[in-house]
Structure 1
Amino acid sequence: MYVPHGAVDHVAVLDDGRRISVPPAHDTAVLDEVPEPPLPEPLPPGPTRRGPLGLVAGARSGDKGGNANVGVWVRTDDAWRWLAHELTADRFRELIPESRGLKVTRHLLPDLRALNFVVEGILGAGVAARHRFDPQAKALGEWLRSRHLDLPEALL
């Protein structure tokens, strides 16, 4: 449910206690489509070892209404080369069974050596309407990090 912007007073409270009324924005810009950044060169083939994704990647997750956001990042350029090619939206669906029938969108963030996944509908109508173990998807990133896959030994 949306509340009209004029129905709520917007007020900035300064550190000295003064309150300044902030008028609502009258114009908003329509977001332009941003082209997907190019993928890095893949990591050369080499020996792998089966292990949890969390050995090479960090993650953080949370809810946006009925959707979940999952950010995944790595520390090195080589790990980024591997992650960007390995952790696709389809691979995410394989690793997180609850997302298999849902729309999963992947966003590349190469300057951060990170990926962001949006999983639409995984929380149904949202945190207040769900009775799941993780209604805010806070543990989804750690669930992803616990999933086993073939990790390049060069990254371990």
Structure 2
Amino acid sequence: MSRTCFVEFNGAGFWAFSDSLAVLLGQAVVVAEEIAADRRSAAFPDVVDQLRASAVVPDLGLFVDVGWRGDRLDLLLRLIEEANRRLGERERVTASEVAGWTTLGDDVIELRRDAMDTAPVIELGQGVLQLLRESLPPAPRGMWWFYGVEGGRQTIVMRTV
């Protein structure tokens, strides 16, 4: 399992610490599963399935298809916003707590450490929201943004092939 993963929408993106993305997306799935069945849009299964897969297999990162406009994108934005709000109510999450999020089915999120601060996860969530709203400021030339790490957003050098 990689320590980093890529988050992408509409040709733009950034790198993220995979544990932080897993916690953010896992919390978004928890939020989604609390939505009453009669209030779920037709987009619900697609969005939640992608969030669930990306949460438990962090190497996938989060790829949001450019075709996800309207209901799908609106739902994704609402779920990330609420996940961020809930994570903001606490300072830390534990690996055992995250592994117990039963809305992920038989799969579990496995963190590399026993606990992690929520501040980097929340900052990552804000970056995802900016990316989806196409308001993420560009990284410095030749660099990528790197979210979800202690100490706040950083940059990493783009490698050319």
TM-score, normalized by the shorter chain, greater than 0.5: no
What TM-score results when the alignment is normalised by the length of structure 1?
A: 0.28
Counting helix residues as a fraction of each chain, which structure ranks higher? 2
Counting strand residues as a fraction of each chain, which structure ranks higher? 1
